[in-house]
Every structure is written in structure tokens, then in C-alpha cells.
Amino acid sequence: MKSPAVRIRGSGAVTPYGAGVQSLWQGIEEGRPAVSPFSGFENEGLPQLVVGKVPDAVDRLQAFNGLGRDGNRAAFLAGIAIEEALRTANLSPGDLEGPGVALFLSTTKGPISAVERFCLHRKRSGDECMVTPSDLAGLLARTLNISGTVQAVSSACASGAVAIALAADHLSSGRCDRALVVGVDILSAFIVTGFLALKALSSKPARPFDVDRDGLNPGEASAAIILDVTDENSGPFVKGWGLSNDAHHITGPDRHGSGLAHAIRAALNDADTTPDRIGALVAHGTGTVFNDAMEMRAIEAVFSPTIPPVCGIKGAVGHSFGAAGLVEAALAVEMLRRRKVPNTLGHGRCEEEGFRFRGAPLEQDRILSSNSGFGGVNAAVVIGKDDSWPL
Amino acid sequence: MAIVITGGAKVDKAGVETLHGALIPWDSKVASSSGSWVSGLKGRTFFDTPPARFGRMDAFSKLTVGCAHLALKDAAAAGSESFPEGIVLGSLMGCLMTDIQYYAPVCDKGPEHAGPLLFSYTLPNVAVGEVCREFRLFGPNTVISCGEDSALAALVVAHGWLSSGRASALLAGGVEAVDSRVAELCRGDSNADIRSSAFLFQLERQDEPWQPGLPTILGGESEFSPSGFSIERSVDLGNTGMERMWHMLNMGGRGFRAIDVRDKEGYSSSLKVFIDTEKHGSTTRHRTQIKSAAD
């Protein structure tokens, strides 16, 4: 199944390195993890944790059209990323107005603060109207005056890649002319308590695919990409996508990796490309024992005998859940621009042979980014460019 | 090529009903129970032999898995030889009920009282994962949320995936699981009229209709009205379009139909369907035996 190419016109991100895709790239290049000890949940009885938190300096920035001025952190972070995406796309806010523009929001818990407040006080706080991901998507759409399709996507940690897939689908079928895909999740006691209960957190910076990995670092981030369809040969493009389900367990991945392999093959087929044309893999790489083992199984199944260089960023910025797939897509664009695969921070030694996690030149013009999540969901997106890009 | 509806099921406070069967009302004990009927769902409501895991699921997952089972059974009993590869679920409220159920004890007693199993269910796509696991669906799947028409939008997404060949059959529809605490959070009134329900349909891509009279989904679209926001959220939460669609499918008749939903947040979706069925009659319908929740 082949889909028309969909152009990534602009991208933006806010990560624990700060605002901007460039700050993300520079931090990783400098080998400087942005995860750090955090005691901000002491009031909730939580211990000090290693997390990926957006630095306080970002709080002093102005988000698009005052988003988040009311204290809505998810909206605020999303607004900052949207600003950068507009700037890099060389578009004005007015170019996102109207019925021809769609918005897809990727988030796992969205405005979770409302639930936290309700559970703490057992009553609704005043004019609480920001409760569901749908509410957050509506707020972003109203702020940007978007009147096409607006949807919040909930596919756990694969939400970002799924949102890109839905947007690409809309564009290639002509249901919209332009799509804004935004991913955001904030650091919250709700999420941290849960992962602590699951014993999935590491007390140290996460070590994706490392033989001594022992858990993930929860984090927050936002990212935004602007997509459209064009006849021009200026990339980069979303070339194809694939989704699957392990049908195995609601939290534990299928250890054979067959579900993720299925999604990857579907994405390659959709992109009309083959494993040997993939220059790098941007992996999910949470740093947990089972996820990373599953991913390596899947990668081996699809790409053996020659596995492309693999890059994972969750050792650098933590796991930002619903934002992760969008941050990684923005990184993939940067990799294509610079023709380089960055290091996987936190990785030292792999128990499997054939894998490369060190920085390397990008020798092909296609990158495959994949994510997996609770509920057994797997998503893979192929992002590529043509020779004429960057101009 | 046509995208047809070959089976379906709905579960709401009136009881359980399949597209080709009749409504089975809840046992009076369940219907009159205070609080939310959705909190007391039993596996035997939906299954002859409930999955071992059913009792451990949250209400949102129970409703989703149970309704999915009935929809699949309905399609098979009506003669469908296809089986879905994936599922697209729409939900406005998602697992808010579970979120509160999980986090309230954490606030009261401390993080050591965080339940790992319940936390796992605080993502609505985990319900989708339970469906995939139970019925061995390995293909495309997701949950989308876009106002009260989330389920209608899910059907539009499924229609698109089927039309473009991403799958040959899918489950699609909407699930809302809410209780008084969700009503309190969203509306500030725990006694507000609340509405849990589940609607799931089996959709198939067919090169030509294998049986005359199958409802055919022609397509749909979703829009947003930036100026249409009202802070007063309706408590008739979600699945508004599904109720209309169910009624339309049961009415039968012949011709084009459109289901439109617009909510106070500004979301709107429309779905276009062509139906060509005899009016509800006994010869083409089978009776699906559903045990009461109180059995």
C-alpha cells in the first residue's frame, strides 16, 4: 500500500534541554543528559526521582497567543513548540486558520492537573473546563482558529506516531490541506506514582538498550510538526506508516517483538521502501528491561543481517509519553538535515550483537521512527528526504 | 468497493442489544441500583465463559471488551465470514472514571497505595489492548477523542483505513464509562444525569456487497468551530451520534442517511450511510441470548 508523500514543513520542541529543536540536538551532541534528580513531589510523599523536567527558564517565555497564562502547563508547553514550528515552516499563525487545516493532539493524560486537584479536594475547582485531552485539543484549535478536523489521539506512548499517521492519512486523502500535529505531556504525580507502583523507574539516568538498564525516567516535553502536501521536491517527508497491536499483555510487550516488527514492515511497505534503504532507526528505547529487549528482537527480525545505526533519546531527556513520538520525529528531521545519527546517551554496552548505538554519519535518506506503548500498541513512521533537501 | 456494517452491539442503561437481535433489558436489580450500572458489570453479562481476566479489568475495559464480543458474535451469526484486524475507538471521557478510582486513594493514603493494576487501566487505549488480546487483533488500532462525536469520528477513521486498504475489517465505535464522580468533575453536579454506553460495529471492506441490504458507510467528515465553545458541558456525555445511528439502522428503510453531531465544545462530525433493509422483521434477525448482569 503506497501513500502520497506528505511534507514536514516545520517542527518545534520543548524538552528538558529547553526550548527549541536545536537545544535538543546540541545537548545530545555534547553528551550532556538533561535528566536530573527532582524532589518536586515531596508534598505528595514521593521520593527524589530522576526525571526529565523542562527547565524553569522556559517558564519565562511567552507561548503562542498567551497559551497557558492561566496555569495550564500542557497548553503552555504546546504553545512554545507551535511557535517554533510556525517559524521554521515560514508560516504565520493565519496560515493555520480555516477549515482546510487539521489538528491532531498526541497526549496520554493531557490536562491531568484537573484530575489531581479533584482527587485532592474531592470537588471540582471553579470553572474547571480543561479535563480531557479533547478539551486541550479544543483549546489549541480555538487559539489557532483551526476549523478542520480536530482530534486528540490516545495510544499511550505510541500516540505521537499514531497522530502523525492520522495526519498523513488526512492529507493524502485530501481531507485537509495542512495539518498541525502536537504532542505534549507534563510531569505529574499521577503518572510518577503509577510507574513507581509498577517498579518501572530507574533511580539513575536511564540507559536505553544497555545491558545494565533498569528502568525509565519519567519526563515532560512538547513538540509540534506542521505537515502539508506539495508538488515541490523540498522535503523532508512522511513517507509511510504502520500500526499494530501485540495482542499479548496490557503492559508487558510481546518479547518476540512480532507486533512491532509487523508495524515496521507495514510502514516500510507503505513507504515503498526496503530495510536496506533505512539509514537510521529512532527507537523507543525506554531503558526498561523488557521494552528494549522486545525492540531489539523486532529490529533484528526486520533488518538483519545489517541493522542500521540506532538512536534513542530517552537516556537524554527521559520518557515524555505522549510527546515522545513527536519529539523523536522532530529529531529525525534534524538528523536528515545534518546527515548524522546522534549518540544514544546512557547506552554503554549492549547484550546483543549487530547493534550500533554510537553517533554515525547518516548514509541513507530514510529514517524509521517507532514507538510502543501500554495496551500493546506499536507504531512506526518512515521519514525521508529527497536529494534536493536541505536547500 | 463498499464499507459495510455486518454486525454491531450496544450496551447502555436500558440493557444489551445487538444489531440483528433484540434488546435484553438488565435485571431489575441492576437497572434500579444507585450509582452507575457500569460499575457492576459481570463477565456473564456478555460471555458464556467469561475471560479469566474480565473481573480484573476496569469498568471502561469491561464495557469495551463485552460490547466487542457481542458485536463480533452478531456479525458472525448474521453470516459474516470476515474477522476484524483492528479497532478504532472513540471516547470523550476515556478512562476518567478509572483515573479517579486510581488516584483518590493515593491522595488520601499516600503513594504506597497506588495500585499498579489499576494504574495500567488509566489509558483508554488499554481497553483497546484488552480487545486485541482477547480476540487476537494484530492490526491498526487507536483511541481518538474529539468531543461528543468521538465515536462518529472513529467510524470515519475506520472507513478511511478500510477504504485505503490498511485493513479488510475493523471494529469501530465508541465507549463512555462515567459515574457520579466524573459528573462532579466535569459538571460540578454528582447527581447530574449521567450516561454510560458502548456502541461497537464490525465494518468490512467488500468488493461488492455479499448480501443485499447491508448498511454501507459512504464516508464522513469532522470539523471544529473555534467560536462554538460553551463552558457549560452537556452531561449527555459522548456517543450522541451512536444513539442516532443505532436508531437509524433499526428503523430500516431505503436511502441515504446522514448523522450529524455538534457539541458545545465546537466539535462536529457527520457520517453518511446508505441503508437498504427491510424494516425490522423477525425472519432475518436472530436472538442473541444475553444473560442478565445479575445472574
Angle at CA of residue A44, ends A42 and A45, nearest 5°: 65
Spell out the domain ranges in chain B: 2-211
Closest residue in B to A120 (Cα) is B107
- Round to whole Å and give the CA distance between A103 and A148: 7
Among residues B160, B167, B174, the alpha carbon closest in space to that of B139 is found at B167
Query: Could you tell me the pTM of the whole model?
Result: 0.95
* A58-67, B208-217, B250-259, range with the lowest pLDDT: B208-217
Domain B2-211, CATH: 3.40.47.10
pLDDT at position A127, please?
Answer: 63
Are A240 and A6 contacting, i.e. CB atoms less than 8 angstroms apart? no
Closest residue in B to A260 (Cα) is B138
pLDDT of A228 strictly over 60: yes
pLDDT of A54 strictly over 90: yes
Q: Roughly what angle, to the nearest 10 degrees, separates helices B125-135 and B59-77?
A: 40
Please check whether residue B231 touches A, CB under 8 A: yes
How far off is chain A from B99, nearest CA to CA, in Å? 7
pLDDT of B32 strictly over 90: no
Q: Are A243 and B139 in contact (CB < 8 Å)?
A: yes
How far off is chain B from A38, nearest CA to CA, in Å? 16
What does the mean pLDDT of chain A come to?
94
- Which of A1, A151, A190 faces B146 most closely, judged by CB atoms? A151
- Round to whole Å and give the CA distance between B69 and B194: 25
Q: Name the fold adopted by A5-384.
A: Peroxisomal Thiolase; Chain A, domain 1 (3.40.47)
Strand ranges inside A262-346, DSSP E: 280-282, 310-311, 340-341
Please check whether residue B99 touches A, CB under 8 A: yes
pLDDT at position B39, please?
Answer: 84
Give the model confidence (pLDDT) of B147-171 as tens digits.
Answer: 988 999 999 999 999 999 999 999 9
Among residues A116, A195, A181, A101, the alpha carbon closest in space to that of A148 is found at A101
- Taking the CA atoms of B125, B131, B134 and B136 in sequence, report the sign of the dihedral they define: negative
What residue type is A210 in one-letter code? Answer: D
Half-sphere exposure for B8 (CA within 13 Å, toward CB): 24
pLDDT category of residue B121 using cuts at 50, 70 and 90: very high
Within the 162-201 window of chain B, which residues sit less than 8 Å (CB to CB) from chain A? 164-166, 181, 184-188
Are A242 and A266 contacting, i.e. CB atoms less than 8 angstroms apart? yes
Helical spans, DSSP H, in chain B: 28-31, 59-77, 96-109, 116-120, 125-135, 150-163, 180-187, 240-251
